[in-house]
Structure 1
């Protein structure tokens, strides 16, 4: 290191190649729950770690070690060493939540076995995040039907994390393609969406988004766009009245303390404005309203972030991809982005 000179705080140095490299005072510790063992979670995780060489991050992987070792060897990927001491080591490690059992899964198939293993991995990573043994977690995809077969009663990661941490409310924020999309409602049938959209819910979600943008992204006065629910944002009441009765009053309440909130915008043009005017976030009334444009723009690089938790949690914005599991062709870009977002948000 004779060609590089660190400053007294150890956070920045320059070298003869004229590149400035930013260092953390210590390595960030990021836990990764590997999701469904018969999906692509392990593959995209190991590919991501290999591709980016995250030198300032120590990884703690949670999953079935014996199965993961066999699978990683078949994919010609390197697995971190198994450890029972959790986070004490300096190097990246693998925590075996299967307790050294040999479990024969069927690759790419829904089962209670694989569902249970993905739950065990998630629970262990969350326990250690709550205990502050790790700085944040990235969750690889789990399969909703498999976890249901295993007795998991939550719709997914977000709902479980809200209950497990005991916080009043969490917000699902999807980032990618120049958008930051926050959802008022998440995983539910369309017939139930209208009943869940209230002035209070819109205000509560938007306030969490604003505070998170300030805290984690350093945006002092965020510019927020709120989407309508109905076609053309109801077109003056022709196609419903939720905009007039619920969404607009909520926006007016929010504007008393946060002037840069506008809407409701017709969703078919709102995302065009979001990109053109560089909004800091978009508040969407239901799942597909926000995820269709985001996944169109960033299918391979979108990231799911849970706001409102006592720790950072991110996830690739895609599923288990059972159809390509074990073939070695999974794209790791979203996992790379999820790790980068997690590291960036850790303070």
Structure 2
């Protein structure tokens, strides 16, 4: 790793030939380049050469063409780093955090996938990550799965049979969590600063809320990894590639959050 003038370290790694580059196109070559760069960054983390990783958004379709064996890069990183515990993407916007009980699965499979154990894992991951980000006493709420939190069982029993007993069990262990709250109102508590985080039931439940509040500033934290890893939450934006109009606020936020995590990591 070379250190350039001004204190910036530069690690040059050739992962793709110039002739293979196609702007805003999902290709196997670009996917191989992403995976090679990511794996090298993970090696630097493990070797103690860097303290955190901040990456620009990846295109999962290109990565899958290149052989990505997981649904997303988080679980690829987990395998490379030898992590066997629960992993979850966490989304952050202006100090508001969300995590997911289920993530990259079909919506029809969500209800059957939600268990007390998965909910407990999701709460523990975001509680630990918030503490590593400098929040000494996190306040966490759980979003319900069904409309009106199931309306006493009229619109589904997941809140009665799974969510509430799991939350009560966590409270007995002094976990700072409450709920389940109707998902159409719990994010107002988050927006107004009454809580620090919402644990959601599925991918879009939290993503829609945060992206509406500030799409260009959102950050994804790779929860459950042994190192701080962050990235902008907005995606690859192929529709504006090469136009010079991309905004950098989310990348700056991702860098700042990674720095906070390094400073508070235990």
1:188 pairs with one of 97, 105, 127: 105
Change (3 A) 1:296 1:177: farther
- Flag structure 1 segments of 5+ consecutive residues without an equivalent: 1-85
Given that residues 97 and 117 in structure 1 are in contact (C-alpha distance below 8 angstroms), is that contact kept between their aligned partners in structure 2? Answer: no
Structure 1 counterpart of 2:255: 339
Segments of 5+ residues of structure 2 without an aligned counterpart are: none
For residues 165 and 258 of structure 1, the distance between their equivalents in structure 2, rounded to whole angstroms, comes to 30
Looking at structure 1, the residues matched to 9 and 204 of structure 2 have their Cα atoms a distance apart, in angstroms, of: 37
Residue 99 of structure 1: how far off its partner (Å):
6.0
Query: Partners of 1:206 and 1:99 in 2: how far apart?
Result: 38
Q: Look up the SS of the partner of 1:96 in the other structure.
A: coil
How do residues 250-329 of structure 1 correspond to structure 2 at under 5 angstroms? 250-258=166-174, 260-329=176-245
Question: Across the two proteins, how many residue pairs are aligned to each other?
Answer: 261
Q: Deviations over 1:202-233 (max 9, x none)?
A: 112212222222233232x3211100001111
Residue number in structure 2 paired with 1:57: none
Distance 1:192 1:99, change over 3 A: closer
The answer for the alignment partner of 2:115 in structure 1 is: 198
Q: 1:71 maps to which residue?
A: none
CA shift, 1:87, in A, is 5.6
The residue matched to 1:160 in structure 2 has which SS? helix
Q: Which of 21, 26, 30 is matched with 1:105 structurally?
A: 21
Check whether the contact 2:58–2:235 (CA below 8 A) recurs between aligned residues: yes
Q: Among residues 12, 24, 30, which one is paired with 1:96 in the alignment?
A: 12
Counterpart pick for 1:213 among 105, 119, 130: 130
**2:150 corresponding residue in structure 1:** 234
TM normalised by structure 2 equals 0.92
Structure with greater helix share of residues: 2
Is 2:71 the partner of 1:146? no
Contact 2:95 2:196 in 1 (8 A): no
Q: Which residue of 2 aligns with 1:13?
A: none
Write the distance in 2 (CA, Å) between the matches of 1:135 and 1:141. Answer: 20
Residue 50 of structure 2 aligns to a residue whose secondary structure is coil
Confirm or deny: 8 A CA contact 1:305 1:313 kept in the other structure: yes
Measured on the aligned residues, the alpha-carbon RMSD in Å equals: 1.8
TM-score, length-normalised on structure 1?
0.71
Structure 1 Cα separation of the partners of residues 22 and 228 of structure 2: 32
**Greater share of residues in strand:** 1
Deviation at residue 88 of structure 1 after TM alignment: 6.1
In 1: Cα distance, 2:4 partner to 2:16 partner: 20
Contact 2:141 2:179 in 1 (8 A): yes
Structure number with larger C-alpha Rg? 1
Mapping of residues 73-92 of structure 1, within 5 Å: 86=1, 91-92=7-8
What's the secondary structure of 1:213's corresponding residue? helix
